[in-house]
C-alpha cells in the first residue's frame, strides 16, 4: 500500500483539487492521510465531505509545530509500506501510483524512488522540469546548480522503513526539511531514478516556499546543509569533490580565480579531519 500524506493549513483553495489528484489515479492500494494544523477556513469541511464517500481518505485536525511536525504525524499514522507526500497545491501525472506500486514489488528495502517533476508558475506555465538523475551524496553536495535534487515530493516515493534508519523530518526546519531528508536517505537507501514525469509542483507567489526563495533564506539554508553533509563524504569522495571545485574555478571563473584556488587547496586538510 502507498500512504500519501498531505500536510495542510488553511488550504481551501487547493484541497479539493488535491483530493481529486489522488482519487483520479484509480489505484486501489492507497490511503490518503490529511494532517490539518487546525485550519480556520473551509479546509476541514471539504475534507469531511469527501471522506464520507471515499474510504481511502483519513484525516486529523489539530494544532502542530509546523509542516515537518505534520509530516511526522502522517508517517506515524500510515499503514502502507510506501510513503509519499503530496502538498495541497501539487498533483500527480495521470496513472502514476499503480506503476509505482508495481515497481516497489521488485525493489529491495528500503528503497528511495525518484521521477521527474514539472514546475509551474502563477500563470499556469511550465517554467522547468526537474530531472534529478544523479542522486549519490557526492552528486548532490557538489551543488544543486550542477546536479539538481528532487525539488518536490510529488515525484518521489520511499519505503516507510527508511525512517527506521535515518529518523524523522526535522521539526525545527520549516523550509529545507525535504533536502535534509534526501541527503540522509541517499546514504542508506537503494536509490532508483525513473526518467518519467510523475509530479507537478506549483511555485506560487505568496506561499511559504516562494517567499523563502525570494528573500534568499532558502538559498542560505541549502548552502548550510550542503556544507554539513560534505563531512559525510568518504576520503575518496572528498578528493573527487575538491577536484570538481578546482575544475569549476579554473574553467568557469578563469584566471581571476587563482587566489580562490589557492585558498581551496589550503582547505584540503580540513576536509580530511
Residue 1 has pLDDT above 60, yes or no: yes
Q: State whether 21 and 33 are in the same domain.
A: yes
Number of domains observed in the structure of the chain = 2
- Average pLDDT of span 170-187: 90
- Average pLDDT of span 26-47: 97
Domain interval for residue 263: 233-272
Q: State whether 89 and 187 are in the same domain.
A: yes
Q: State whether 246 and 205 are in the same domain.
A: no
The CATH number linked to 9 is 3.90.550.10
Which residue matches cell numbers 537507501? 189
Q: What is the DSSP letter of 251?
A: I
Residue 204 has pLDDT above 80, yes or no: no
Q: State whether 61 and 85 are in the same domain.
A: yes
Of 136, 182, 133, residue with least CA distance to 157: 182
- Prediction pTM value: 0.88
Q: State whether 207 and 79 are in the same domain.
A: yes
Q: State whether 144 and 262 are in the same domain.
A: no
Q: State whether 50 and 88 are in the same domain.
A: yes
pLDDT tens by residue, 55-107? 999 999 999 999 999 999 999 999 999 999 999 999 999 999 999 999 999 99
- Average pLDDT of span 192-217: 76
The confidence score (pLDDT) of residue 56 equals: 98
Low-confidence winner among 34-38, 43-47, 105-109, 259-263 (lowest mean pLDDT)? 259-263
Cα(64)–Cα(168) distance, integer angstroms: 15
Q: In DSSP terms, which residues pair with 91 in a beta bridge?
A: 200
* Radius of gyration for the alpha carbons in the chain, expressed in angstroms and rounded: 20
Cα(228)–Cα(105) distance, integer angstroms: 34
Q: Rounded mean pLDDT of the chain?
A: 89
Q: State whether 77 and 189 are in the same domain.
A: yes
Q: State whether 264 and 152 are in the same domain.
A: no
Q: Give the residue, 209 or 22, on which the prediction is more confident.
A: 22
Phi, psi of 216 (to 5 degrees): 90, -5
Q: State whether 217 and 237 are in the same domain.
A: no
Q: State whether 101 and 120 are in the same domain.
A: yes
The confidence score (pLDDT) of residue 209 equals: 58
> Could you tell me which residues come within 8 angstroms of residue 101 by beta carbon, excluding any fewer than 6 positions away?
2, 27, 29, 30, 82
Q: Which helix (H) or strand (E) holds 82?
A: strand 82-85
Amino acid at each position: 500500500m502507498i500512504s500519501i500524506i498531505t500536510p495542510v493549513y488553511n488550504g481551501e483553495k487547493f484541497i479539493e483539487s488535491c483530493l481529486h489528484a489522488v482519487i483520479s489515479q484509480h489505484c486501489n492500494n492507497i490511503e490518503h492521510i490529511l494532517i490539518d494544523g487546525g485550519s480556520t477556513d473551509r479546509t476541514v469541511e471539504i475534507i469531511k465531505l469527501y471522506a464520507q464517500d471515499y474510504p481511502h481518505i483519513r484525516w486529523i485536525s489539530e494544532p502542530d509545530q509546523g509542516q515537518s511536525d505534520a509530516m511526522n504525524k502522517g508517517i506515524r499514522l500510515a499503514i502502507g509500506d510506501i510513503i509519499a507526500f503530496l502538498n495541497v497545491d501539487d498533483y500527480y501525472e495521470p496513472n502514476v501510483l499503480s506503476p509505482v506500486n508495481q515497481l516497489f514489488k521488485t525493489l529491495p528495502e528500503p528503497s528511495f524512488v525518484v521521477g521527474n517533476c514539472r514546475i509551474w508558475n502563477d500563470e499556469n506555465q511550465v517554467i522547468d522540469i526537474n530531472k534529478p538523475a544523479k542522486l549519490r551524496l557526492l552528486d548532490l553536495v557538489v551543488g544543486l546548480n550542477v546536479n539538481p535534487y528532487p525539488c518536490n515530493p510529488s515525484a518521489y516515493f520511499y519505503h516507510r522503513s527508511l525512517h527506521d534508519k535515518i529518523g524523522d523530518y526535522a521539526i525545527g526546519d520549516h523550509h529545507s526539511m525535504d533536502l535534509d531528508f534526501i541527503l540522509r536517505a541517499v546514504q542508506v537507501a537503494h536509490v532508483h531514478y525513473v526518467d518519467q514525469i510523475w509530479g507537478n509542483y506549483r511555485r506560487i507567489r505568496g506561499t511559504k516556499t516562494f517567499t523563502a526563495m525570494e528573500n534568499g533564506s532558502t538559498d542560505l539554508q541549502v548552502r548550510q546543509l550542503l556544507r554539513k553533509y560534505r563531512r559525510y563524504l568518504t576520503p575518496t569522495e572528498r578528493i573527487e569533490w575538491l577536484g570538481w571545485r578546482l575544475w569549476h574555478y579554473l574553467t568557469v571563473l578563469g584566471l581571476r580565480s587563482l587566489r580562490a584556488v589557492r585558498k581551496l587547496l589550503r582547505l584540503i586538510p580540513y576536509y580530511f579531519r
